[in-house]
Copies of this chain bind each other. A is one copy, B any other.
Amino acid sequence: MTEPLRIALAGLGTVGAGVVALLDANAELITRRAGRTIQVVAVSARDRFKDRGVDLSRFAWEDDTRLLAEREDVDVVVELVGGSDGPALALARAAFGRGKGLVTANKAMLAHHGLELAAAAEQAGAALKFEAAVAGGVPVIKGLREGAAANELRQVYGILNGTCNFILSKMETESRGFDDVLHEAQAAGFAEADPSFDIDGVDAGHKLAILASLAFGTAPTFAAVEMTGIRHLLAADIAEAAALGYRVRLLGLAESGVSGLFQRVHPYLVPLSHPLAHVTGPTNAVVAEGDFVGRLLFQGAGAGAGPTASAVVADLIDIARGVTGPPLAMPSDMLARADRADAGDRRGRAYLRFTVEDRVGVLAEIAAAMRDAGVSIESLIQRGSHAEGGVLVAIVTHEGPERCVAQALERLRGSQSLVGQPMWMHILD
């Protein structure tokens, strides 16, 4: 195994440039650990002449990304183009068509086309590896696929989007509103100009679909992920949660049960006794609960050039070492097509917040809707005014089926007493 592993790099944004920088900086170490050198042969990106802070003149250049997969001198293609379809998917298909391995950070592509790509890789006898697609530099794909492989997993959940966790941490420690913190995050480069993929939970949903597939032996089914983001969260919600002993975190949670596969991205109240309550800033953390191993936690930087490049190169080192095996932990034809479990059947406690008109009878209307839907109230706080304005009613329910909470909210829909949408958060118990 003294032949170098020859790679082609598609996409030279932050992460692509980071991969080149990492392979340069730690070349000797990587060679020792991988048993052979990992050598960039060719690259492709949108703009050939942009300064990316790394010397690209050493590498062959392809204007057409897909041609990287055609090159005879390339063993593995690294796809860092992004996007669920388009050039990334075309490149992936082309790579397997030529029997070449693929390393990718593309969570959207895997969430949508994971099964097809895993099957194509298996058929080609080629590697498909994607550690960088979930939780940046944290080796959680490896942790589930290999580390926890002996376990029947009951649940996998975690903080999967660093931008949201950064915003939530800031709102919490500085008692600031969502829009305010989002703008700061955008200015600082922690959030995109169009932040909707992050703040509406779509990015976390992509990652969750991948984790669920590995954890439960099911095909990735992004279409079945229920997603609610943090856009409508108030500083007052975070303050109420804190008063109750919780911190608000956007969690992706997947669970496999008799009624099927449940996948949801949603804001949760996390008790201070849980490690996820102490994950702050743009950090990611994933918990997996196994029947023998108990609770495993993996935590680290969820994004950024360095951490993501670290995961990409870890995959390359695995390939260089000759480590292969089915991409989705078992052969793709063994993956189940799980039914989508009905969220209504889930039991738990809920936090409900209403912003209401300050007039007689409003509280009675809300309480009646809860009663009529069979929702039992554990605590209720009404506050005359809060930073964002308006009268706030915050309810914590006793444990019960989510169906009842949904019915109560349905009964209140269109009520003249309510200002804006109610906020519903689940409580992680």
Q: How far is the CB of A288 from chain B (nearest CB, A)?
A: 9
| B309-A301 in contact (CB<8A) | no
Contacting pair B330 A292 (CB below 8 A): no
- How far is B8's CA from A416's CA once the two chains are assembled, in angstroms? 72
A298 CB within 8 Å of chain B: yes
Q: Digit string of A362-383 for contact with B (CB within 8 Å is 1, else 0)?
A: 0000000000000000000000
A297: interface (CB < 8 Å): yes
Are the C-beta atoms of A294 and B301 separated by less than 8 Å?
Answer: yes
Inter-chain contact A293/B299, CB cutoff 8 Å: no
Q: Which of A53-61, A312-320, A341-349 contacts its partner?
A: A312-320
A154 at the binding interface (Cβ < 8 Å): no
Given A35-B331, A317-B146: A294 touches B300 (CB 8 Å cut-off) = yes
Check A150 against B323 for contact (C-beta < 8 Å).
Answer: no
C-alpha gap A319/B30 in the complex (Å) = 23
Which of A33, A143, A309, A317 has most B Cβ within 10 Å? Answer: A33
Contacts of A278 in B (CB 8 A): 275, 278
Q: For residue A141, which residue of chain B has the nearest CB?
A: B147
CB pair B290 A295 closer than 8 Å: no
Q: Which residues of A (283-310) have their CB < 8 Å from a CB of B? A: 285, 290-301, 304, 306-307, 309-310
Flag if B138 contacts A314 (CB, 8 Å): no
- Interface residues as binary, A130-154 with B (CB distance below 8 Å gives 1, 0 otherwise): 0100000111001100111111100
The chain B residue sitting closest to A294, CB to CB, is B301
A293-B297 contact in complex given A146-B317, A150-B309, C-beta closer than 8 Å: no
Question: A322 near B: Cβ within 8 Å?
Answer: yes
Residue in chain B with minimal CB distance to A131:
B147
Residue of B nearest to A299 (CB): B297
How far is it, in angstroms, between the C-alpha of A297 and the C-alpha of B293 when the chains are bound? 17
Q: Which of B32, B309, B314, B316 is A217 in contact with, Cβ under 8 Å? A: B32
Output the least CB separation between A271 and chain B (Å): 12
Chain B residues with Cβ below 8 Å from A131 are: 147
Q: Does B25 lie within 8 Å of A291, measured CB to CB?
A: yes
- The CA-CA distance from A281 to B29 in the complex, in Å, is 37
Complex CA–CA separation, A330 to B1 (angstroms) = 13
CB atoms of A149 and B30 under 8 A apart:
yes
Contact of A148 among B217, B304, B310 (CB under 8 A): B310
Complex Cα gap A330–B28 (Å): 12
Query: Which one of B285, B296, B317 contacts A138 once the chains associate, using CB atoms below 8 Å?
Result: B296
CB-based contact B151/A26 at 8 Å: yes
Question: Once the chains bind, are A297 and B294 in contact (CB under 8 Å)?
Answer: no
Interface residues of A in 325-345 (CB under 8 A from B): 325-326, 329-331, 334
A321 contact set on B, CB distance < 8 A: 324-325
Q: Is the CB of B33 within 8 A of A294?
A: no
CA distance A300 to B296 in the complex (A): 5
B301 with A299: CB separation less than 8 A: no
How far apart are the CA atoms of A307 and B292 in the complex, in Å? Answer: 6
Give Cα A99–Cα B56 distance, bound, in whole angstroms.
Answer: 46
Bound-state CA distance A133–B142 (Å) is: 19
Residues in B whose Cβ lies below 8 Å from that of A318: 146
Q: Which residues of B contact A149 (CB under 8 A)?
A: 30, 33-34, 313-314, 317
Which of A143, A152, A300 has the most B CB atoms < 10 Å from its CB? A300
A78 to chain B, nearest CB (A): 13
A227 within 8 A of B: no
Using an 8 Å CB-CB cutoff, how does the interface string of A220-232 with B read, 1 for contact, 0 for none?
A: 0000000000000
A239: chain B residues at CB < 8 Å are none
Instruction: Give which listed residue, B22, B147, B296, B306, contacts A299 with CB less than 8 A.
Output: B296
Q: Closest 6 interchain pairs by CB?
A: A139-B147, A150-B313, A293-B310, A137-B293, A297-B299, A292-B306
In the complex, 9 of the A-B residue pairs with CB atoms within 8 angstroms, ordered by the A residue number, are A26-B150, A33-B329, A35-B326, A137-B293, A143-B143, A285-B297, A296-B299, A297-B298, A323-B325
